[in-house]
Amino acid sequence: MHFELTKEYLEELKVAVESNAEAKVLELIEGLHAVDVAEILDEQSTKDAKAFYTLLPEELAADALVELDEDTREKFLDTISSEEIAEKIIDNLDSDDAADVIGELSEKKQDEVLSHIEDLEQAGDIIDLLNYNEDTAGGLMAKELVRVKIDWDVATCIKEIRTQAEDVEKMYTVYVVDKNDILQGRISLKKLLLAPDSQKVKDIYNEEVILVKVDVESEDVAQIMDKYDLVVIPVIDEIGRLLGRITIDDVVDVMREEAEKDYQMASGISENVESSDSAWSHTRARLPWLLIGLFGGVLGALVIGVYEEQIRIHAGMALFIPLIAAMAGNVGVQSSAIVVQGLANNSLGLDGLWKRLFKELIVGLINGAVLGLIIFLYNFVFSDDLTLTFIVSISLVAVIVFAAIFGTLVPLMLNKYKIDPALATGPFITTVNDVFGLFLYLYIGYLMYAV
Amino acid sequence: MHFELTKEYLEELKVAVESNAEAKVLELIEGLHAVDVAEILDEQSTKDAKAFYTLLPEELAADALVELDEDTREKFLDTISSEEIAEKIIDNLDSDDAADVIGELSEKKQDEVLSHIEDLEQAGDIIDLLNYNEDTAGGLMAKELVRVKIDWDVATCIKEIRTQAEDVEKMYTVYVVDKNDILQGRISLKKLLLAPDSQKVKDIYNEEVILVKVDVESEDVAQIMDKYDLVVIPVIDEIGRLLGRITIDDVVDVMREEAEKDYQMASGISENVESSDSAWSHTRARLPWLLIGLFGGVLGALVIGVYEEQIRIHAGMALFIPLIAAMAGNVGVQSSAIVVQGLANNSLGLDGLWKRLFKELIVGLINGAVLGLIIFLYNFVFSDDLTLTFIVSISLVAVIVFAAIFGTLVPLMLNKYKIDPALATGPFITTVNDVFGLFLYLYIGYLMYAV
């Protein structure tokens, strides 16, 4: 029922494309959506993809281009002339997608493409959109929408909507504006359909409309649309004029990217790397975090080096180094992840910093007490060094409490200073907690063996 | 513009509610959406919330209930009689929300509430929905939708839609069915609006409609709607009859929950715990993972214990225990996270297992070579034990390669056997890699000091 790409399918398609059997190709892609076609193109070699692409119907080709991976799209656009981009691709796209595609071109090629767009209104819309930062509402919005004037009657509305709707693929809602184009509210198609022809818009429109200003950040747009379960949201300028609208599909992408970014941070991956990317991309995305880990490891070695003599005498202390380091890391990651997730979905609640840290203290103490007791019993039974038994348990509790509080504090601080709190998860917090945990353990050991 | 909850607001509201100043309360909540009201209720004490809730307009109260945290909602429903639930709440909800609310009640209370619903059609719809597994398309869908028969003309459609639309809050699309209620396609309101009255549906409807069967898993529904940028998707039964529809807002929740679940797994949190939950919930969500870490630490201690004598002689070896363990953990988490994310967003591509492992081998070797060289140079300069210098570097490369391959293999295997691959991220993979990495390091040390 839904398209599933297989190696066999790719092979069959390749043969058909190579033998230039257009009818066979069209048969193979029958019923496919642009996103399926993009999936095929992403899996093909550039040469095969290019040959296949030229056989596609124009509109499908344009839509598929929008759905491609950015890297693949860039390669593609390089091989297409500015004139073709303007006439075959841009002409078939909504203003937001068109602006995204053009925005990826070089300055020079942008100008060329824009000069080849025949519909001057479309070209103007695209230029307007290119001026917005892509991480704001302006960068997400499309100009295509249906608007009616507040003093019209229903019959006029329906006539006007028929004209405007030709440019708008999906209507969702009709916006109501005044004579200065200031957004006044909205009216559903359903209501227009149910109302008598002579009814005035101003008597039946809905004044309550959730909207965003054009310079609001994408993340905030996503949060608002998610919170209020909106499918579409209008975008206004500083004085309230209706500029465009953002639809949920674009915002779902923003939400997914945010979630993936946090996940990658927590896992120590610094770029948006996918499993199918090259070994080199993987190395580049992963090595920086491992360098942090290595640096932490060297710091750890320095800390232990200070107590090397102590370990030579009490070699048993070495046994629990990994335990202390691992627990410090795990607790820190837990605490920071909870804060980062709370910040991401706005569910931190109204508690102040001290209350939050106090709760972490309690959680750390409970967890520390349970785990400290277990390790105490283990060592009490299996170790003949009672001092070491105490050292390990006491250190474990101290390390867990410290890591919990530190893991909570750091992302909150980063967030306060407008730095991405997700930086605090993953390798960074693990490394800092590792090193400090080790120091705590060895110092407690030093004190207690000295007794 | 958008509601932001503050402590001052809560205080003002509390005073107004306690003095039973209904006008003041209504003024305070003017323009608020159900989700804002739910946010307020979630922050209030149960007593305050209850008092506030009874002052709310009926429809807003019903909608706010749906948006509440599950725990808070459960407490609330306990205090409301079955009759009131049926008449004041269920009557104001769509069938999917109504079924969700009733599904949370005890069997006995469910029967009571159902028997108090006056609209028998609604009661029937709810009973139908309660029979579906909540993690399937059936559990997500609502029964409310607008359907037209394929042999109608546009005028009949519009007349029929006017009747049906009263029950349907948002229409999005009109479904076309045959006389047996088998889904044939869809027709947009826009098209109906633009077509002449006498036109037949069968000449203008769109046959291509992406749909799901009622028993498809929620996750798959989310993936399909996301992939094809759908706002609404129809649900059919085994023989193709139209049962209901799923809207994007419900699916966004599924997507978020999936992403959060994976994130929590990677961070070592076992339940859906939020920052604002009690210290006890936090402990419960975090302790199990820490026990895994503790168990790993004890295993690590046993491994080191075997080589205790070696460490007593070459105490310098202890210095790099945290480095080896940390790097093993970091690399393992990176590798498993990439696989888990690839599985989650279906971007693994078509490569087979061996090709994937070979790529990890390459990535591991490059990363290992770079990091191994750095630590070699560091030790070469600062350490006077050349054997140790070699041991640390060789072990580091070996550990990184092993952790990369193991971290890739485990989630792929889990996924093959239908176990959640996210289990392989976080504490589990860290712990296994820690222990094995230590063993590798100490064994290589044993071999090289023996030379």
Q: What is the pLDDT of residues B84-101, one digit of tens each?
A: 999 889 998 989 999 999
Q: For B8, which residue in chain A has the nearest alpha carbon?
A: A350
- All residues of chain B having their beta carbon less than 8 Å from the beta carbon of residue A389 are none
pLDDT digit string, tens, across residues B30-61? 889 999 999 899 888 888 888 899 899 988 99
Q: What is the pLDDT of residue B69?
A: 83
Same domain, B112 and B159: no
Inspect the interface and report whether the beta carbons of A189 and B193 lie closer than 8 Å.
Answer: yes
Enumerate the residues of chain B whose CB falls inside 8 A of the CB of residue A350.
Answer: 5-7, 10, 43
**Residues of B in Cβ contact (< 8 Å) with A195:** none
Mean pLDDT of A165-178: 81
Rounded mean pLDDT, A45-51: 87
**Residue B273 in domain:** no
Instruction: Answer whether B45 touches A (CB < 8 Å).
Output: no
**Same domain for B32 and B133?**
yes
**Is the pLDDT score of A96 beyond 60?**
yes
Give residue-wise pLDDT tens across range B389-433: 999 999 999 999 999 999 999 999 998 888 888 887 777 888 889
pLDDT score of A335 more than 70: yes
Distance CA B401, CA B364 (A): 4
Note whether residue B133 is domain-resident. Answer: yes
How far apart are the CA of B199 and the nearest CA of chain A, in angstroms? 16
193-232 of A, contacting B, C-beta below 8 A: 193-194, 208, 210-211, 224, 226-229, 231
B3 and A CB contact within 8 Å: no
Q: Per-residue pLDDT for A273 more than 80?
A: no
User: Taking residues B336-359, what's their average pLDDT?
Assistant: 83
Do A268 and B334 lie within an 8 Å CB cutoff? yes
What 3-state DSSP class applies to A91?
Answer: helix
Chain A residues close to B309, C-beta within 8 Å: 315
pLDDT of residue B20: 86
Contact A322 B301 (CB under 8 A): yes
B433 contacts chain A (CB < 8 A): no
CB-CB: which of A248, A263, A366 is closest to B283? A366
pLDDT digits (tens, 9 = 90+) for A378-424: 999 988 889 999 999 999 999 999 999 999 999 999 988 888 888 87
Domain count, chain B: 3
Chain B residues within 8 A of A309 when measuring between CB atoms = 315
User: Is B262 inside a domain boundary?
Assistant: no
Same structural domain, B324 and B386: yes
Measured at the CA of A43, the angle between CA A41 and CA A44, to 5 degrees, comes to: 65
Which ranges of B131-247 does DSSP label H, i.e. alpha helix?
Answer: 137-140, 154-165, 189-194, 201-204, 218-227
The pLDDT value recorded for residue A439 is: 94
Q: What's the whole-number mean pLDDT along residues B346-352?
A: 74
Nearest CB to A289 within list B267, B268, B330: B330
Taking the CA of residue B164 and the nearest CA in chain A, the distance in Å comes to 11
**Cross-chain Cβ contact A349/B275 below 8 Å:** yes
Residue with tokens 């339940």: B271
Domain boundary among A108, A135, A162: A135
**CB within 8 Å: B267 and A266:** yes
Domain range spanning residue B182? 147-253
- Take residue B115 and report the two structure tokens written for it: 């028997």
Of A7, A165, A425, the CB nearest to B350: A7
At what angle are helices A34-43 and A70-78 packed, to 10 degrees? 80
Per the prediction, chain A carries an average pLDDT of 89
- Under an 8 A CB cutoff, do B321 and A326 touch? no
Of B275, B321, B348, the CB nearest to A338: B275
Interchain CB distance below 8 Å, B327 and A211: no
Residue B304 shares a structural domain with residue B429: yes
Kindly state whether residues A197 and A291 are assigned to the same domain. no
Least Cα separation, residue B2 to chain A (angstroms)? 8
CA B425 to CA B419: how far, in whole Å?
13
Predicted confidence (pLDDT) per residue in A19-41, tens digit: 988 889 999 998 899 999 998 99
Better-scored residue on pLDDT, A256 or A132:
A132
Reference A123, options A176, A87, A158, A147; nearest CA is A87
pLDDT at position A1 is 55
Same domain membership, residue B158 and residue B244: yes
B170 has pLDDT over 80: no
Cβ of B326 within 8 Å of Cβ of A228? The answer is no
CB contact under 8 Å between B325 and A324, yes or no, is: no
Best B215, B319, B370, B397 residue to mutate vs chain A (most A CBs within 10 Å): B319
In the three-class reduction of DSSP (H, G, I as helix; E, B as strand; rest coil), residue A341 is classed as helix
Does B325 reach chain A within 8 Å, measured CB to CB?
yes
Which residue from A268, A318, A337 is facing B263, i.e. has the nearest CB? Answer: A337
Is residue A84 pLDDT above 70, yes or no? Answer: yes
Mean pLDDT calculated for residue range A360-377: 93
Q: Sheet harboring A183-187: ordered strands across?
A: A147-149, A174-177, A183-187
Are the Cβ atoms of B326 and A293 closer than 8 angstroms?
Answer: yes
The set of residues, in sequence order, having a beta carbon less than 8 Å from that of A335 and lying 6+ positions away, is: A360, A403, A404, A405, A406, A407, A408
Domain assignment present for A301: yes
Q: State the Cα–Cα distance between residues B363 and B47, nearest whole angstrom.
A: 58
The nearest alpha carbon in chain A to B324 belongs to: A297
Measured between CB atoms, does A252 come within 8 Å of chain B? yes
CA distance to A428, B383, B392, per residue, from B387 (Å): 30, 10, 9
The beta-carbon neighbor of B298 closest among A296, A325, A378 is A378
Chain center to CA of A70: 15
Q: Which of residues 265-324 of B touch A (CB under 8 A)?
A: 266-269, 273-276, 279, 282-283, 286-287, 289-291, 293-294, 296-298, 300-301, 304-305, 308-309, 311-312, 315-316, 318-324
Q: Can you tell me the mean pLDDT for B296-323?
A: 90
For position B50, which CATH number holds?
1.25.60.10
Q: How far apart are CA A412 and CA A335, in angstroms?
A: 11
- Residue to mutate among B5, B267, B435, with most A CBs inside 10 A, is B267
d(CA A271, CA A260) in angstroms, rounded, equals 10
Given an 8 Å threshold on Cβ–Cβ distance, is B289 in contact with A252?
A: no
The average pLDDT across A165-179 equals: 82
Query: HSE (CB half, 13 Å, CA atoms) of A232?
Result: 23
Q: Where are the alpha helices (DSSP H) in B195-247?
A: 201-204, 218-227
Q: Using a CB-CB distance cutoff of 8 angstroms, which residues of chain B are in contact with residue A367?
A: 283, 286-287, 290
CA–CA dist A139, A188 (Å, integer)? 26
CATH number of the domain within which B227 lies: 3.10.580.10
Distances in whole angstroms, Cα of residue A339 to Cα of each of A41, A287, A332: 40, 26, 11
Chain B residues lying within 8 Å of A337, measured CB to CB: 263-264, 266-269
Q: How many CA atoms lie within 13 Å of B172's alpha carbon, on the beta-carbon side?
A: 20
Asked whether residue B43 falls in the same domain as residue B26, the answer is yes
Interface of A with B in 373-412 (CB under 8 A): 374-375, 378, 400
**What is the Cα–Cα distance from B275 to A353, expressed in whole angstroms?**
12
Q: Which of A334, A374, A382, A432 to mutate to test the interface with B (most CBs of B within 10 A)?
A: A334
Residues B211-270: pLDDT tens digits?
999 999 998 999 899 888 888 999 999 999 999 999 988 898 888 888 888 888 888 887
- Quick check: is B196 in a domain? yes
More confident residue, A61 or A267: A61
Residues A130 and A169 in one domain: no
A64 vs A260, more confident? A64
Residues in chain B, total:
451
If asked whether residues B287 and B431 sit together in one domain, one would say yes
| Same-domain check for residues B103 and B163 | no
Lowest mean pLDDT among A60-74, A196-210, A285-299, A337-351: A337-351
Same domain, B34 and B86: yes
**Mean of the pLDDT values across residues B167-196?**
85
CB atoms within 10 A of CB A152: 16
The CA distances from residue A360 to A407, A423, B168, in Å, are 9, 20, 47
Which residue among A227, A283, A434 sits closest to B367, beta carbon to beta carbon?
A283
Residue A330 maps to a domain:
yes
**Is position B260 within any domain?**
no
Query: Per-residue confidence at B271, pLDDT binned at 50, 70, 90?
Result: low
A229 contact residues in B (CB cutoff 8 A): 35, 249, 252
8 Å CB contact between B332 and B406 = yes
What six digits make up the tokens of B87?
Answer: 């008449």
Residues of A in contact with B325 (CB under 8 A): 322, 325-326
Q: B 121-150 residues with CB below 8 A of A? A: none
Domain finish residue from A92, A115, A135:
A135
For residue A374, what are the CA distances in angstroms to A327, B65, B182, B249, B294? Answer: 14, 43, 62, 46, 9
State the CATH number of the domain containing residue A294: 1.10.357.20
Chain A residues in contact with B324 (beta carbon < 8 A): 297
In a mutational test of the B interface, the residue from A36, A310, A341, A405 whose CB has the highest number of chain B CBs within 10 Å is: A341
Q: Between residues 84 and 103 of chain B, which touch chain A (CB distance below 8 Å)?
A: none
pLDDT digits (tens, 9 = 90+) for B255-269: 888 888 888 888 888
What pLDDT was estimated at residue A271? 63
Of B218, B253, B288, the position where a domain reaches its end is B253
- Is B113 in contact with B106 (CB distance < 8 Å)? no
Chains A–B, number of C-beta pairs less than 8 Å apart: 366
Based on the fold, state whether residues A337 and A196 are members of the same structural domain: no
pLDDT of B273 > 80? The answer is no
pTM of the entire predicted model: 0.82
Higher-scoring residue by pLDDT: B165, B186: B186
Token digits for A317? 């202390």
Residue B269 is assigned to a structural domain of this protein: no
Per-residue pLDDT tens digits for B116-151: 998 888 899 999 999 999 899 999 999 988 899 999
